[in-house]
């Protein structure tokens, strides 16, 4: 059992008392959200499993839901934090695991309070599924790295102050070994962000051009050439953040299909009923599996199991949205709104069936393609023999481009 600096044990009851004492001093009804969150961070109630002084208390990760639920019960539910998913879900755990004390002190608090938004500069036009094939170069001159290249499918790049970035620093070694991980200032000279309009009409994503962008070595995360190892922490957390959110029974997109079935008896057929029941059962099985994953996360770090959660999320969304269109027939082919906008997140529940169908196609690409996730599940979860990889020991510069 963890103890606080005064020697008192930190169990669920003790944390509830801490939250109650905190709320008594910082009334959610009269304290603005930024001030409240900043004080919550300082009190160690942001991420209780983080170290003291860095938003936590060094408590077991399993106690975080206790804290969150108690804050909600006492009247504090943060709003407008959709744009923080990359910072909270990916950058924070990576900086905690591999960042220097100076980096943790500089970035964790404003990341948590929402003062600074983050994006992720990983995928490239020629390195999506095979991320280790990335070609963005970082060349060191003294204590500064000069970075040039192109990244793509970057959410929130047009709003972000910082990015987590992987770049190639040594082309003379095999592709997984010559990568280094950086924090990139998105306002730096040479960073050019351009919107990518999707089939839905929206532009959730961007392409980012890096033209001789200067990054101080103090913004390198982890050792030089260790970027692949650092990036695995980011990727595992990303897959959990996409596919591992808790949901109630009949939550998510299956709720839309089930509601349609109940409200529209004119669309019902025995065949569609069979499809709906099969997908309802699959969605419930996925929900329970994600709950088990969340319990595993409570006692450790995300592992390859998060890939299974993300894979099932993608497959179910695509099949359910297809069923929704099939139930509606020609009516489902109408599209509600083709307005160009740059949303901070995806909101399925408030859009029409056509949007559900088109947007869900991207689920099998973002956060790890379905093909790559199947390999991860097969090799790291099921223990099957790995695929032959002929380029594993070949220097990156000698690989065919």
Q: What pLDDT shows up at residue 310? A: 85
Catalytic residues: 238
Angle at 239 between CA 152 and CA 336, to 5 degrees: 65
pLDDT more than 70, % of the chain: 94
Per-residue pLDDT of 143-175, as tens digits, reads 999 999 999 999 999 999 999 999 999 999 999
Q: What pLDDT shows up at residue 258? A: 96
- CATH number for position 142: 2.40.110.10
Q: What pLDDT shows up at residue 10? A: 81
**Residue 245 confidence class, pLDDT cut points 50, 70, 90:** low
* Whether 227 and 258 share a structural domain: no
- 255-272: average pLDDT: 95
Owning domain of residue 257: 244-382
- CATH number for position 374: 1.20.140.10
Sign of the C-alpha dihedral computed for residues 124, 125, 131 and 133 taken in this order: negative
Number of domains in the chain: 3
CA distances from 303 to 110, 235, 307, 313, 376 (A): 27, 10, 8, 17, 10
34 inside domain: yes
Strand stretches in 32-123, DSSP E:
118-121
97 inside domain: no
**Residue 7 confidence class, pLDDT cut points 50, 70, 90:** very low
- Using the predicted structure, report yes or no on whether residue 2 has a pLDDT greater than 60: no
Give the DSSP per-residue string, 158-215.
TT-SEEEEEEES-TTSBTTTSEEEEEEETTSTTEEEEEE--TTS---EEEEEEEEEEE
Per-residue pLDDT of 189-242, as tens digits, reads 999 999 999 999 999 899 999 999 999 999 999 999 999 999 999 988 776 666
**Residue 373 confidence class, pLDDT cut points 50, 70, 90:** confident
Q: What pLDDT shows up at residue 6? A: 45
Q: Which of 173, 198, 231 is the last residue of a domain?
A: 231
85 inside domain: no
Strand 118-121 relative to strand 162-168: parallel, antiparallel, unpaired?
parallel
23 inside domain: yes
Mean confidence (pLDDT) of the chain: 90
Q: Count the neighbouring beta carbons within 10 Å of the beta carbon of residue 276.
A: 20
122 inside domain: yes
Q: SS3 for 113-142, per residue?
A: HCCCCEEEECCECCECCCHHHCCCEEEEEC
* Whether 317 and 207 share a structural domain: no
CA distances from 147 to 98, 143, 172, 401 (A): 21, 13, 17, 20
Q: What pLDDT shows up at residue 306? A: 76
């Amino acid at each position: 059992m963890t103890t606080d600096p005064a020697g008192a044990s930190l169990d669920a009851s003790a944390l509830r008392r801490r939250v109650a004492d905190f709320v008594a001093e910082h009334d959610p009804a009269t304290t603005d959200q930024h001030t409240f969150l900043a004080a919550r961070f300082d009190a160690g109630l942001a991420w209780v499993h983080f170290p003291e002084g860095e938003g936590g208390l060094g408590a077991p990760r399993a106690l975080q839901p206790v804290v969150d639920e108690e804050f909600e019960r006492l009247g504090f539910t943060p709003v407008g934090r959709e744009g923080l998913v990359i910072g909270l879900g990916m950058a924070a755990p990576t900086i905690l695991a591999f960042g220097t004390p100076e980096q943790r002190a500089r970035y964790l608090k404003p990341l948590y309070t929402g003062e600074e938004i983050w994006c992720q500069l990983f995928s490239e036009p020629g390195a999506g599924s095979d991320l280790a094939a990335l070609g963005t170069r970082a060349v060191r001159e003294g204590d500064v790295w000069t970075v040039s290249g192109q990244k793509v499918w970057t959410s929130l790049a047009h709003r972000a102050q910082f990015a987590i970035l992987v770049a190639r620093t040594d082309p003379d070694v095999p592709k997984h070994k010559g990568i280094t991980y950086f924090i990139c200032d998105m306002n730096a000279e040479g960073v050019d962000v351009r919107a990518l309009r999707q089939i839905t009409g929206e532009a959730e994503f961007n392409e980012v051009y890096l033209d001789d962008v200067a990054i101080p070595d103090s913004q390198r995360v982890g050792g030089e050439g260790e970027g692949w190892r650092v990036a695995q922490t980011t990727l595992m957390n990303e897959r959990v953040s996409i596919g591992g959110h808790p949901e109630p029974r009949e939550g998510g997109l299956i709720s839309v299909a089930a509601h349609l079935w109940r409200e529209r008896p004119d669309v019902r057929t025995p065949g569609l009923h069979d499809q709906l029941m099969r997908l309802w059962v699959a969605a419930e099985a996925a929900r329970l599996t994600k709950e088990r994953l969340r319990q595993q996360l409570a006692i450790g770090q995300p592992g390859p199991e998060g890939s299974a959660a993300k894979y099932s999320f993608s497959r179910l969304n695509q099949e359910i949205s297809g069923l929704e269109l099939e139930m509606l027939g020609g009516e489902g082919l109408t599209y509600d709104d083709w307005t160009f906008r740059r949303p901070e997140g995806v909101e399925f529940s408030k859009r029409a069936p056509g949007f559900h169908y088109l947007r869900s196609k991207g689920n099998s690409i973002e956060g790890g393609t379905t093909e790559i996730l199947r390999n991860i599940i097969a090799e790291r979860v099921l223990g099957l023999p790995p695929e032959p990889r002929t380029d594993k020991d070949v220097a990156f510069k000698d690989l065919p481009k």
